[in-house]
Amino acid sequence: MKVYISADLEGISGITHWDETGKEGGEDYQRARRLMTREVNAAVEGAVEAGATEVVVNDSHGHMRNLLIEELHPAARLISGSPKPFSMVQGLDGSFACAFFIGYHARAGSRGVLSHTYTGTVAEYRVNGRVVGETGMNAAVAGEYGVPVVLVSGDSTVVEEARGLLGPVETVAVKEYVARNAAVSLPPEKVHALLREAARRAVARAAQIPPFRVEPPVEIQIRFTHSGLADAAELMPGALRIDDVTVGYRAPDFLTAYRAGRALMALAAR
């Protein structure tokens, strides 16, 4: 049985500030990398205990070179670096029994710790009219391959977001939202125990949890934080200008829509 893990950083316990999420943060960032690696290891350990024979971990934060391979659980293989064609879900395909999202954060505009959707340029991301964040976007890619997302960990807000979107999947709230840059966090030892147990349950329940699917055709709409960003995104062939700050794209399937959305955001960010 193969298990896929997409690992982000903002939803790791103890992380509450942008300084901790990139190399500019110095030792704060190096500490965050260790915390991230250990939470991933706990999920890998639980998956293996539940019968996983192969675990693939995709580093899904920022430049995607955060996880410390020298400290990674020996049962895992690591995908790292960027850009990758499928970004946070690179390497995911129909050969996996299930997927975990570890260290995830809430969508842009929500009351979550370090909440955003991919970049700071995005105010709202819609798929067929429904507002989603990275959890929904990445779960829909998994759904295209028939793979259910069975475990989501992060702050209390993303846990609620995941349940509302994916149904009764396993979740671990490693910290409670206080403000966008403040949280009540659980200590690592407690978090690791919760993740191991949740991973075991998630693998055992994988066959009972349906994949999250977006029915084609797929229309995405990205509302940017100002019109200049939308001006840049609109340069992409096939882009549809919806209003002053919103650009859309219509695709025959979600995999195409996912890559188009990433391209729109990349143009805007540059």
CA–CA separation, 66 and 30 (whole Å): 9
Overall fold of domain 2-117+133-208: Rossmann fold (3.40.50)
**Average pLDDT score over residue span 191-213:** 98
What average pLDDT does the segment 34-51 reach? 98
Res 110: pLDDT: 97
Q: Which residues are catalytic?
A: 116
pTM above threshold 0.95: yes
Instruction: Report the SS3 class of residue 166.
Output: helix
CATH 3.30.1360.130 in the chain is located at 218-269
73, pLDDT greater than 90: yes
Q: Does residue 162 surpass a pLDDT of 90?
A: yes
Summarize the confidence of residues 66-73 as an average pLDDT: 98
Say whether pLDDT at 1 is over 90. Answer: yes
Q: Does the pLDDT of residue 261 top 90, yes or no?
A: yes
Token pair recorded at residue 69 = 């391979």
The SS3 assignment for 102 reads: strand
Long-range Cβ contact pairs of 125-129 (< 8 A, separation 24 or more): 125/220, 125/221, 125/222, 125/223, 125/261, 126/220, 126/221, 126/222, 126/223, 127/214, 127/218, 127/219, 127/220, 127/254, 127/257, 128/214, 128/215, 128/218, 128/219, 129/219
Question: What is the mean predicted confidence (pLDDT) over 250-259?
Answer: 98
Tens digit of each residue's pLDDT (9 = 90 or more) over 84-114 = 999 999 999 999 999 999 999 999 999 999 9
Give the model confidence (pLDDT) of 230-246 as tens digits. 999 999 999 999 999 99
- Note the CATH architecture for domain 218-269: 2-Layer Sandwich (3.30)
The per-residue pLDDT for 270 is 85
Mean pLDDT of the chain: 98
Cis peptide before 168 (omega within 30 of 0): no
Give the per-residue pLDDT at 89.
Answer: 98
109-136 pLDDT tens trace:
999 999 999 999 999 999 999 999 999 9
- Pinpoint the residues of the chain covered by CATH 3.40.50.10780: 2-117+133-208
